[in-house]
Structure 1
Amino acid sequence: MRKISRRNFLLASGAVTISAALSACGGSSSSTGAASSAAASSAASAAPAAQGKVLNIWCWNDEFQGRFNNYYPEVASIAEDKSTTTLKDGTVVKWTINANENNNYQNKLDEALLNQDSAADDDKVDIFLIEADYALKYVDSDYALDVKADIGLTDADLAGQYQYTKDIVSVDGSQRGTTWQATPGLFAYRRSIAKEVLGTDDPTEVQSHLSDWDKFNEVAAQASAKGYKMLSGFDDAYRTFSNNVDAPWVDGTTVKVDPNIMKWVDQTKEYTDKGYNNKSSLWDSQWAADQGPSGKVFGFFYSTWGINFTLLGNSLETPVAEGGKEEVGNGIYGDYAVCEGPQPYYWGGTWICAAAGTDNTDIIRDVMQKLTCDEAIMKQITLDTQDYTNNEKAMEEIANSDYASDFLGGQNHIALFAEAAKKIDMSNAGPYDQGLNESFQNAFKDYFTGTVDEDTAKANFETAIKEKYPELTDVVWPA
C-alpha cells in the first residue's frame, strides 16, 4: 500500500484550511436520545479483556461522544463535565475535543499522532475521528490501523454496512476506519413555498419538477417571479455538482478541473446575477436565517445529518436552548419536506479510526462492532435521533414502516435516504478533495459578485493551490 510519507503528512496537515463548516457531520449530543434498553440489551455482551487503563478518543465536536455515551452498552458512568466516561471493566475513556475552526482539530491531532511513539501509554491516541473530506490523508498513511487485520473486525461484522462507507476509508484493500452513519443527500424544500410556486407540496410531485438541472432552473425562475429565492447562496449546490464528476481532482501532479464543477460556476453566476440566491455562504448568519421563519428560500441541499442537526434548529422561532420545543407552532417546524433533487450526492460523514500505537485494540474492536455494525443499535439511533445509520437492513426496515418525521410534515424521509444511499459513488474521491474544493469555492466567490472576471478567478485558484500544495504543478481547465 502506498503510504503518505512523514514529510507529506506534515505538509497535508498544515496545508488545508477549514471554515466552521465542520459542524458538518453532526451537532451537539444534546440532540441525541438515550439508547433504549431493548437496543442496549440486544447488543450487550461480555466486556473485552482490558488492555490499557485509559482509552483516549479524539474528535472535533461532541457528536460521537453522545453516540458513545448513549449507545455503547459497556458504559458504566459519565463524569458530570463529560470529560471522561468509565466502562464496566474500569477502563476510563478520556475525551479530547478540539473545535475544527481554522483546521485546529487536524493540526492538534497530527501533532499527537506524530509524537505517538514517545507518548506515555495513558496519553497515546487510541481512537480518532475523521471526516470524508480529508479521510484519505489519514487512511493512506501509517497512522490508522486496518480494522480487520489489526483490530479484528470480520467481513461478517461489516457486511451490513453501505459499501461506499467502506470504500472511502480503504486503500489497496485495507480498510482503515468504520462509521455508524451514512450521509446521502436530498433537497429539503419549504412546503408552503412549493405550494405557492408549483401548486403542490407533495414530495413526489415536487420531485417531478426538480428531477434534472434544467427543470430545477425553471423552478428557480418561477420562484423568483413569486418573490422567492431558489437557493440561499453560492455554495448550496456545490456538492451536488462536485460529487458527480468523471474523474478525481488530481492526476499525478496535475489538477484537472472537471466540467461538472464548471457547470456549478455557470449556474451560480446566473443565479447571482438574476437574484435567484441571497449571496450567502454556508454557515453564515444569512444562510441560517434563510432556513428560519423569516426565510424566503425555496430549499436547501442537505444530507442526513443536516436535517436533524442543522435545518431543524434553524427552523425554530424559539431555540430549544431558550425553552422552545421541537414541535409544530414553533417557527416553521413541520413546513419542510425532502425530495431527491436533480442528482444524487452525499455530504459529510464521520469515521472511527484506530491509531497506530494504541494499547487498547480489544476495546476498540468492541466499540467499532457495537457502534457501527450492530443492527439493533443502528436502528435505535435512527429512531431516537432521525440520523441515518450505516446498516442497510435496519434502514430498509424503517423505510418500509409507518415511521414519520413530524419535522418533515409526517414524511418518512428514511425511505428517500435509503434509495439515495444506493447511488453514492466514491470512486473519484482523493486526498486533496477538501483543500481543492474549498480553494475553488473561495476563488470564484469574487467572480459571482462581480469583483473579478472569470479568468482572474481561475488564476486566483491556481495561485491558491500552488501555495497550499506545492507538489501539484499544473492545472488543466475543461475546453
Structure 2
Amino acid sequence: MRIRNKAFVISSIMCFCLVVFSFIGCGATEGNDGTGTSTLESESAEGVATDGGSTLNIYCWNTEFEERMTDYYPGYTDNGDGTGKIGNVKVVWTIVPSNDYQPALDEALLLNMTRSADERVDLFLLEADYILKYVDSDYTLDVVGNLGISESELADQYQYTKTIATSQEGKLKGVSWQATPGLFGYRRSIAIDVLGTDDPVVVQNELSDWNGFDHVADLANKKGYHMLSGPVETFRVFSNNVTQTWVDDPSSVSPKIQVDSKLIEWADMCKKYTENGWIGDNEQWTDGWNFDQSAEGKVFGFFMSTWGINFTLVGNAGEEGFGDWAVCEGPAAWYWGGTWISGARGTDNKELVVDIMRKLTCDKDNMVKMSGETQDYTNTVSGMETLAASDYKSDFLSGQNHIKLFSQAAPKIDMSKVGPYDHGLNEVFQKQMGDYIGGKCDKQTAINNFLKNAVVKYPELTYDPITVQ
C-alpha cells in the first residue's frame, strides 16, 4: 500500500511560486471545505471542467504525444506551426524541455483558475518518476468522477498504470496509452561471438539470474567487450524490486529514510563490474552511451523498456546495426517510464479531453494499430495478448516478436513500493554511491554522504545511522 503525504505534494507544486502567493487561495487544498477532503473532489464536475472552449492547451516535454495525436486521434490536423486543429478548436502545444517542465507546469496549474478560459491548461502529461506529486494534488481531474469515463472502459488497461495514477482518496487522476515493462536488449553478433548463439531462448537461459549474468560478463570481457555501458542503466532493475519504500511513513511528523537491501546490491554489483572491467563508465543519454549502441559499439547489451527499442536503439544502431539486436527477459522483472494524460482543473474543453483519453487509451483497435506501426507497447491487455500470439515480427529485432516477451513481463510490474520521494532520493543515491562505485570513497562513506545530502534536499526527512558491510 502506498502512503503519501498530501502536504508534501501540495508544497512541492507551490513552493517555488511564493512570488504569486496571493493566488493560492484560488486553488483547492485539503480541508478547505471543512470536510478533510479536497475541494476539487467535493465539487461537481461542472465546477471544475466545462465545455465550449475555442482553444485546447496541452503541456508536455517533447513531441511524442503531438505525434501520437497527429497519427492516431481522428480529426486532428497539424497546422505546421506548432499548433493543430480539432474541428473548430485550435490546439496549442506548450513544449518545455524535461528539466524545466515541472516548474513551468506547476506555475501554470497554480494560476489556471485565474486565467481566461482560452489561456488555461486543459490537458498535460506526466512521467512515472513524479506522477504522484500531481495525482495527490487538486490540480488534476478525477478521470471517472469528474470526466465520466467508466470503469468498464478502463478495464483492459494494465492495472499498474492505474495504480500509480490513483490518489490516496482512490481517485484515478490520469490514463496512459502505453505500458513500459523492461527487457534486456543485446547485440546478436556479440552474443554469437561470446556464447556461440544469438537465440533469445538460449541467451535468456544464460542471463536468467545475476550469477549467470556475471558469468556472461566475464566471458564477454575476455572477448574484448563490456557487458554494460554504465552503472546507472542497471539501477531500475534493482530499485523496481525493493521490498520497502524510500520513506517509512511520509504522513508522519518525522518521516524516516530507509535504504532497501536491493539498492545496496545494485551498488555492490556495479562496484564489482567496474573493478573487473565488465562495465563502461557512460551515463545514460551521453555520446558514449549512444555510441555503444551503434554498430561500432563493443557492449553486449542494454536494459531497455518498450519505448527504448523504437525511440533509442533503432536510432543509435543505424543502418549497419539494424537487425543485429534481440531481446530477452534478463535476470529480473522491471519497468521504466511511461507517460500519463491528465485533465487540468479549470479546463473549458472537458468533452474533448475525455475523447482524447478514450481514443488513445481505451480504444483497443486504435492502440493495436499504434503498436503495429510504431512498436510502442500500448496499454491494452487483450490487444497485446493478441499481438503476442500473432505472427507479428520486428524487422529491427531480426524477426523477433518482442511483444510476446513484453506481454509476459507487464503483469509482473509492482507499483506498491512507489512513493513521493522516489525521484529525488534515487538521484541523490545514485550520485553519492557513484563515488563508491568509481573508487573515490568506501561504501560506508558513500552511505553517510547519501543520508546527509538526502535531508538537505528534503529537510522534513530524518534518518538513523546505517551501517553497511
Please indicate, yes or no, whether the TM-score normalized by the shorter chain is above 0.5.
yes
- Residue 117 of structure 1: how far off its partner (Å): 2.0
The 2-side partners of 1:3 and 1:245 are apart by: 23
> Which residue of the other structure, out of 3, 6, 22, is the alignment partner of 1:3?
6
1:114 counterpart letter in structure 2: L
1:95 is paired with a residue whose SS is strand
In structure 2, relative to structure 1, the CA distance for the partners of 1:469 and 1:2 (3 Å cut) is closer
- Whether the aligned pair in 2 keeps the contact of 1:51 and 1:362 (CA below 8 Å) is no
CA offsets, 1:204-247, max 9 Å, x none? 11000000111111111111111111100111211000000001
1:293 is matched with which residue?
295
1:246 counterpart letter in structure 2: T
1:302 is matched with which residue?
304
CA offsets, 1:130-168, max 9 Å, x none? 000101011011111110000111011101100000001
1:38 is matched with which residue?
none
CA offsets, 1:91-116, max 9 Å, x none? 11110000113xx0001001111111
- Residue 13 of structure 1: how far off its partner (Å): 9.0
CA offsets, 1:178-204, max 9 Å, x none? 000000000000111111111111001
The 1-side partners of 2:11 and 2:235 are apart by: 32
1:283 is matched with which residue?
285
- Whether the aligned pair in 2 keeps the contact of 1:162 and 1:392 (CA below 8 Å) is yes
1:170 is matched with which residue?
166
In structure 2, relative to structure 1, the CA distance for the partners of 1:12 and 1:265 (3 Å cut) is farther
1:53 counterpart letter in structure 2: S
1:235 counterpart letter in structure 2: V
2:313 is matched with which residue?
311
1:192 is matched with which residue?
189
1:324 is matched with which residue?
none
The 2-side partners of 1:455 and 1:259 are apart by: 14
- Residue 476 of structure 1: how far off its partner (Å): 5.9
What are the equivalent positions in structure 2 for 1:45-444 lying under 5 Å apart?
51-75=52-76, 77-81=77-81, 83-88=82-87, 90-101=88-99, 104-171=100-167, 172-252=169-249, 253-316=255-318, 330-444=319-433
| Sequence identity (%) | 51
2:70 counterpart letter in structure 1: N
2:61 counterpart letter in structure 1: W
The 2-side partners of 1:379 and 1:162 are apart by: 14
Deviates more, 1:234-243 or 1:451-460: 451-460
The 2-side partners of 1:427 and 1:375 are apart by: 27
CA offsets, 1:47-85, max 9 Å, x none? xx952111110000000011011111132x22112x211
- Residue 361 of structure 1: how far off its partner (Å): 1.3
Please provide the CA RMSD for this pair. 1.7
- Whether the aligned pair in 1 keeps the contact of 2:51 and 2:350 (CA below 8 Å) is no
The 2-side partners of 1:237 and 1:453 are apart by: 20
1:378 counterpart letter in structure 2: M
- Whether the aligned pair in 2 keeps the contact of 1:258 and 1:478 (CA below 8 Å) is no
Gaps of 5+ in 2: 19-49, 250-254
CA offsets, 1:347-382, max 9 Å, x none? 000000111121221111111011110001100100
1:32 is matched with which residue?
none
CA offsets, 1:282-310, max 9 Å, x none? 11111111111111111000000000000
**TM-score using structure 2 length:** 0.88
Gaps of 5+ in 1: 15-48, 317-329
- Residue 478 of structure 1: how far off its partner (Å): 7.0
The 2-side partners of 1:364 and 1:147 are apart by: 10
- Residue 449 of structure 1: how far off its partner (Å): 1.5
Q: 2:468 matched to 1:472?
A: no
2:129 is paired with a residue whose SS is helix
The 1-side partners of 2:311 and 2:359 are apart by: 23
- Residue 313 of structure 1: how far off its partner (Å): 0.5
CA offsets, 1:248-274, max 9 Å, x none? 111121111100111000000001111
The 1-side partners of 2:461 and 2:5 are apart by: 18
In structure 2, relative to structure 1, the CA distance for the partners of 1:427 and 1:79 (3 Å cut) is same
1:395 is paired with a residue whose SS is helix
In structure 2, relative to structure 1, the CA distance for the partners of 1:261 and 1:12 (3 Å cut) is farther
- Residue 10 of structure 1: how far off its partner (Å): 2.9
- Whether the aligned pair in 1 keeps the contact of 2:176 and 2:341 (CA below 8 Å) is yes
2:59 counterpart letter in structure 1: W
- Residue 456 of structure 1: how far off its partner (Å): 2.2
1:205 counterpart letter in structure 2: V
2:346 is paired with a residue whose SS is coil
- Whether the aligned pair in 2 keeps the contact of 1:135 and 1:169 (CA below 8 Å) is yes
Task: Please list every run of at least 4 consecutive aligned residues from structure 1 whose deviation after the TM superposition is greater than 2 angstroms.
Answer: 1-14, 475-479
The 1-side partners of 2:464 and 2:132 are apart by: 21
The 2-side partners of 1:58 and 1:382 are apart by: 24
1:174 is paired with a residue whose SS is coil
- Whether the aligned pair in 2 keeps the contact of 1:257 and 1:478 (CA below 8 Å) is no
